[in-house]
Copies of this chain bind each other. A is one copy, B any other.
């Protein structure tokens, strides 16, 4: 089976994506850290918790919603708990379960950071390009997430010959 290489345009698009994403995520992370003492992953967690009913979410739900491993969520929440941004409580209905809960301090941190973060996202991405292109990015990564989201990994690779 001969490899279907990327054509020059695809190649260019792919590399731009990798490089741009590296720079973008690093920049957003730095802005949040420098100005509001939260990392980007922590910020994502604050957002999910703030949107959840009762401001609380099971650890596994949280992990799924931000696409992090269980273990990573455990460590990250442990750090955030030390900082007072969240607290933990046993789940009533399932003795194994743990609810992560956004504290007032965590909520305040999020409220303080959000405007700054949105401006970063605008300045570094949204306001930089045509609205249609933003929509296209949305379509593309929704498709990617849909393809990869439902943990059904092929053993090796799907050669997917056209």
Tell yes or no: A105 within 8 A of B by CB.
Answer: no
User: Once the chains bind, are B121 and A6 in contact (CB under 8 Å)?
Assistant: yes
Contacting pair A118 B148 (CB below 8 A): no
Q: Once bound together, how far apart are the Cα atoms of A120 and B153, in whole Å?
A: 12
Copies of this chain, tallied across the complex: 2
Minimum Cβ distance to chain B for residue A118 (Å): 6
Interface stretch, picked from A78-86, A89-97, A129-137, is: A129-137
For A3, list chain B residues within 8 Å (CB): 114-115, 118-119
A148 close to B124 (CB less than 8 A): yes
Bound: A110/B91 CA distance, A: 49
Is residue A74 within 8 Å, beta carbon to beta carbon, of the partner chain? Answer: no
